[in-house]
């Protein structure tokens, strides 16, 4: 507890409301600031549940979750939503963007819910374009009227720009590369790492692909940090 | 700002279903406002039919019936008022002026009304407006006729054209031997006067000189010149319009006419009778408003159904919004904002449709029904209707929005399909 962790889960215990049989326990899981960590786990290993706890979508019944030194479990749901907008950038596997909105509006969207992050950014459009330039997105793609006209690879880069704008302290990426081919995967990771480093953000990436492990500071297996109980499950 | 833009973009992205929904609501709004316009227009032009007349006197029947045949020229008098009674009333001290009306003949499809030249001064409509002549002037010869604007327009009559009056209504027996001459054409009023041929009281008597008991006396044909020499005092009239010297005397005069011992008579206040008549018409009016209100409700329900059916496809969208920090209540608000936007666009479109419709239909409605629909801005009541539609849209959208709220709470950032 001496050095502040970017993320700290302590004796966390969670079960879905009305499903006492499905429970997730995380005794101790920490990320150091600026660390790049790969969380390995098969589907059904409780990854999604863990991410929803870290992002403050759901609250555990017991234990403590701290992001950048702030305790999430004692916050009210609305405050957790606001906190997520301010502090956490999220990239999904695919379909990250609102298809009808422009790429620019997609990137600026989190700032709408995060006034401090917005103030930190200053010129939001300029910052968005700087990010997409760094991510190798052509300006032509940015002027596209709607995000659904972009290729999957382009969409993932826009999603990264959205997660990174305003330099949130934690980036959570849920299998962001699985929709990309091997070559694009490697490229994408290079860009992601570079931008996380530039923003000083800690990266937690979830994947089932162990081949990615050497590229991270550290890789953790889901089953090593969490126990899943589903006694009555079929 | 960005949320409003997103809501707009989201609507544009679903332009087909959204467009149809908006069109349905717009049509319902246009219908509702159209009914309002016709209703208020009808009520106004109805109430404007006669003004500045204190009493209408006729043979005893019902007040509505008296009003209908004397002012609206609808239906017929069951009985006449004898000339003696008329003169008795005219001689009363309270009476400032009195104008007799004699109905019963027609020219083509238009009613012929016998009266005195004073009618043109005394008859007022639309709160005190007088009749105006477009061409010519009131009658001075026995066989002069003044025609209303619709009569002139429909029959293509001009000054000095001859016209023949038929006996009774829809009768094939014409008073061929006494041709009238168009002496004056009145300006359009939007009242039944437009559809009336007005002649002197003497003329009504003149055309019946050779008639007895509703049939022509065989072999008898008096020439117009001979008739001009005759004493043509009417035996009876149909009704009379009365103005009193002081408004305080209206009720006293009305009472004494209603109790007139020689003959059963009826005196009514036009305003009161108009209201009574509108009370009868008003049931249809209420039904119309209710039906068009139902149409609006149906269209709004259709919109709610459309939002509902789109929710499942939009769970991914809600998950993205949640991930970037939107609260479930924000997502709920976004859906309601979409509904309000749709309703607002629909309301504007509906108003545009209404005025386009009014602009196109106005001449036709005026010509066919004598109903003048002014192209005025929305009344405050109609504005309220528009606001109510938008509020109702917001209220209706609460149900799909609540469902979205629950979905986004349970889904969080993940989408289970």
Per-residue model confidence as pLDDT tens digits over B381-391: 889 999 999 99
Q: Identify from A81, A91, A103 which residue to disrupt to test chain B contact, counting B C-beta atoms within 10 A and taking the largest count.
A: A81
- In tens, the pLDDT along B218-263 reads 666 666 677 777 777 788 899 999 999 998 999 999 999 999 999 9
Give domain status of residue B273, yes or no. Answer: no
Give domain status of residue B90, yes or no. Answer: yes
pLDDT at position B99:
95
Task: Collect the ranges in chain A with pLDDT lower than 50.
Answer: 1-2, 232-234
When the pLDDT of each residue in chain B is averaged and rounded to a whole number, the result is 86
Domain boundaries of chain A, sorted by first residue: 34-45+76-220
CA-nearest residue of chain A to B412?
A57
DSSP state at residue B166: B
pLDDT at position B106:
83
The answer on B263 and B192 residing in a single domain is yes
The secondary structure of B70-111 as a DSSP string is HTS--S--SS-EEHHHHHHHHTSTTEEEEEEEEEEEEETTEE
DSSP state at residue A214: G
**SS3 label, residue B212:** strand
Residue B264 predicted with pLDDT over 90: yes
The answer on B132 and B255 residing in a single domain is yes
Q: For residue B342, what pLDDT band results from cuts at 50, 70 and 90?
A: very high
The answer on B76 and B206 residing in a single domain is yes
Give domain status of residue B322, yes or no. Answer: yes
The answer to whether B412 faces chain A, any CB pair under 8 Å, is yes
Q: Is-above-0.80 flag for pTM?
A: no
pLDDT at position B339:
93
The answer on B389 and B240 residing in a single domain is no
The answer on B202 and B128 residing in a single domain is yes
Q: Rounded to an integer, what distance in angstroms lies between the CA atom of residue A213 and that of residue A161?
A: 23
The answer to whether B381 faces chain A, any CB pair under 8 Å, is no
The answer on B308 and B291 residing in a single domain is yes
pLDDT at position B222:
67
Separation in Å, CA of B325 to nearest CA in chain A = 4
Of A81, A90, A101, the CB nearest to B9: A101
State how many domains chain B has: 2
- In tens, the pLDDT along B290-317 reads 999 999 999 999 999 999 988 888 888 8
CB contact under 8 A, A55 and B13: no
- In tens, the pLDDT along B134-146 reads 988 888 888 899 9
- Residue that the structure tokens 């105006």 belong to: B132
The answer on B126 and B8 residing in a single domain is no
The answer on B305 and B234 residing in a single domain is no
Separation in Å, CA of A143 to nearest CA in chain B = 15
Q: For residue B348, what pLDDT band results from cuts at 50, 70 and 90?
A: very high
pLDDT at position B87:
93
CB contact under 8 A, B13 and A146: yes
Least confident range from B53-57, B70-74, B357-361: namely: B70-74
CB contact under 8 A, A146 and B9: yes
Range of the domain at B20: 2-46+281-411
CB contact under 8 A, A110 and B324: yes
The answer on B70 and B133 residing in a single domain is yes
Of B2, B321, B414, the CB nearest to A108: B2
Q: Rounded to an integer, what distance in angstroms lies between the CA atom of residue B313 and that of residue A95?
A: 13
The answer on B169 and B194 residing in a single domain is yes
- Scored b (16 or more CB within 10 A) or e, B141-157 reads ebbbbbbbbbbbebbeb
The answer to whether B228 faces chain A, any CB pair under 8 Å, is no
Separation in Å, CA of A57 to nearest CA in chain B = 6
The residue ranking higher by pLDDT, B96 or B173, is B96
Q: For residue B410, what pLDDT band results from cuts at 50, 70 and 90?
A: confident
pLDDT at position B94:
92
Give domain status of residue B275, yes or no. Answer: no
Give domain status of residue B276, yes or no. Answer: no
Q: List chain B residues with CB under 8 Å of A112.
A: 2-3, 324
Residue A29: closest CA among A175, A216, A220: A220
Q: List chain A residues with CB under 8 Å of B323.
A: 55, 84, 90, 92
Residue B74 predicted with pLDDT over 60: yes
Q: For residue B21, what pLDDT band results from cuts at 50, 70 and 90?
A: very high
In A, what residues contact B, Cβ < 8 A? 48, 51-52, 55, 57-58, 77-78, 81-82, 84-86, 90, 92, 95-102, 105, 108-110, 112-114, 146, 162
Q: Identify from A77, A113, A206 which residue to disrupt to test chain B contact, counting B C-beta atoms within 10 A and taking the largest count.
A: A113
The answer on B404 and B293 residing in a single domain is yes
Q: Which two tokens stand for residue B310?
A: 């789109």
CB contact under 8 A, A98 and B317: yes
The secondary structure of A107-166 as a DSSP string is HHHHHHH-HHHHHHHSSHHHHHHHHHHHTT--HHHHT-SSGGGS-HHHHHHHHHHHHHTT
What average pLDDT does this structure show over B313-329?
88
pLDDT at position B214:
62
Taking the CB of residue B3, how many other CB atoms lie within 10 A of it? 16
Among B225, B244, B268, residue at a domain's last position:
B268
The answer to whether B4 faces chain A, any CB pair under 8 Å, is no
Separation in Å, CA of B387 to nearest CA in chain A = 29
> Residue A28: in which H helix or E strand, if any?
strand A22-31
pLDDT at position B254:
94
Q: In the CATH scheme, what architecture does the domain A34-45+76-220 have? A: 3-Layer(aba) Sandwich (3.40)
The answer on B291 and B254 residing in a single domain is no
Alpha helices in chain A (DSSP H): 47-54, 77-87, 103-113, 115-121, 124-134, 139-142, 152-164, 182-199, 222-225
Degrees to nearest 5, angle at CA B333 with B331 and B335:
75
The region, left, alpha or beta by phi > 0 then psi within -120 to 50, assigned to residue B156 is: left
Q: For residue B167, what pLDDT band results from cuts at 50, 70 and 90?
A: low
The answer to whether B320 faces chain A, any CB pair under 8 Å, is yes
The answer to whether B16 faces chain A, any CB pair under 8 Å, is no
pLDDT at position A1:
46
Least confident range from A109-123, B21-35, B196-210, B233-247: namely: B196-210
CB contact under 8 A, A86 and B325: yes
């Amino acid at each position: 507890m001496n050095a502040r962790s970017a993320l700290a889960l302590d004796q966390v215990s969670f079960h879905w409301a009305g499903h006492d049989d499905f429970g997730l326990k995380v005794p101790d899981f920490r990320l150091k600031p600026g660390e790049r960590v790969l969380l390995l786990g098969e589907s059904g290993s409780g990854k999604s549940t863990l991410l929803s706890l870290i992002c403050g979508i759901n609250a555990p019944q017991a234990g403590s979750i701290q992001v950048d030194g702030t305790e999430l479990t004692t916050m009210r749901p609305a405050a957790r939503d606001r906190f997520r907008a301010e502090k956490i950038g999220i990239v999904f596997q695919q379909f990250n963007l609102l298809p009808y909105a422009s790429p620019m509006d997609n990137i600026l969207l989190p700032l709408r819910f995060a006034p401090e992050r917005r103030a930190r950014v200053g010129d939001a459009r300029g910052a968005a374009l700087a990010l997409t330039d760094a991510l190798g997105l052509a300006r032509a793609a940015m002027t596209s009227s709607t995000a659904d006209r972009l290729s999957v690879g382009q969409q993932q880069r826009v999603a990264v720009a959205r997660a990174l704008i305003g330099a949130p302290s934690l980036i959570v990426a849920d299998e962001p590369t699985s929709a990309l081919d091997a070559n694009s995967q490697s490229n994408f990771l290079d860009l992601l790492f570079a931008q996380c480093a530039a923003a000083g953000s800690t990266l937690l990436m979830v994947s089932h692909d162990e081949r990615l492990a050497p590229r991270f500071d550290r890789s953790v297996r889901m089953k090593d940090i969490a126990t899943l109980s589903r006694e009555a499950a079929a | 700002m960005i949320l409003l833009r997103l809501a707009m973009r989201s609507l544009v992205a679903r332009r087909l279903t959204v467009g149809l929904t908006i069109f349905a609501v717009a049509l319902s709004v246009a219908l509702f406002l159209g009914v309002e316009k016709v209703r208020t227009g009808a009520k106004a032009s109805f109430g404007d039919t006669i003004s500045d007349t204190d009493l209408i006197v006729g043979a005893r029947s019902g007040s509505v019936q008296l009003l209908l045949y004397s002012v609206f020229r609808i239906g017929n008098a069951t009985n006449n008022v004898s000339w003696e009674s008329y003169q008795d009333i005219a001689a009363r001290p309270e009476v400032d002026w009195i104008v007799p009306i004699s109905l019963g003949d027609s020219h083509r499809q238009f009613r012929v009304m016998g009266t005195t030249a004073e009618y043109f001064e005394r008859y007022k409509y639309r709160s005190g407006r007088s009749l105006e002549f477009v061409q010519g002037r009131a009658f001075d010869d026995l066989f002069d006729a003044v025609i209303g604007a619709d009569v002139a327009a429909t029959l293509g009559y001009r000054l000095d054209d001859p016209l023949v009056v038929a006996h009774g209504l829809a009768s094939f027996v014409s008073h061929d031997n006494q041709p009238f001459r168009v002496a004056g054409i009145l300006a359009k009023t939007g009242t039944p006067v437009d559809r009336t041929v007005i002649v002197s009281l003497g003329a009504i008597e003149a055309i019946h000189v050779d008639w007895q008991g509703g049939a022509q006396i065989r072999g008898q044909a008096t020439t117009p010149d001979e008739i001009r020499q005759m004493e043509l005092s009417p035996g009876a009239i149909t009704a009379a319009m009365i103005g009193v010297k002081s408004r305080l005397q209206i009720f006293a005069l009305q009472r004494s006419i209603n109790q007139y011992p020689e003959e059963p008579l009826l005196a009514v206040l036009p305003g009161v009778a108009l209201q009574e008549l509108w009370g009868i018409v008003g049931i249809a009016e209420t039904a119309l408003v209710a039906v068009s209100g139902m149409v609006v409700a149906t269209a709004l329900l259709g919109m709610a159904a459309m939002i509902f059916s789109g929710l499942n496809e939009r769970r991914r969208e809600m998950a993205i919004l949640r991930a970037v920090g939107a609260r479930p209540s924000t997502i709920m608000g976004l859906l309601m904002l979409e509904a309000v936007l749709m309703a607002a666009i629909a309301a504007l479109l509906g108003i545009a449709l209404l005025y386009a419709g009014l602009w196109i239909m106005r001449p036709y409605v005026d010509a066919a029904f004598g109903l003048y629909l002014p192209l005025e801005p929305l009344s405050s009541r109609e504005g309220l209707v528009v606001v109510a539609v938008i509020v109702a849209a917001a209220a209706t959208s609460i149900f799909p929005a609540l469902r979205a709220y629950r979905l986004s709470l349970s889904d969080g950032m993940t989408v289970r399909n």
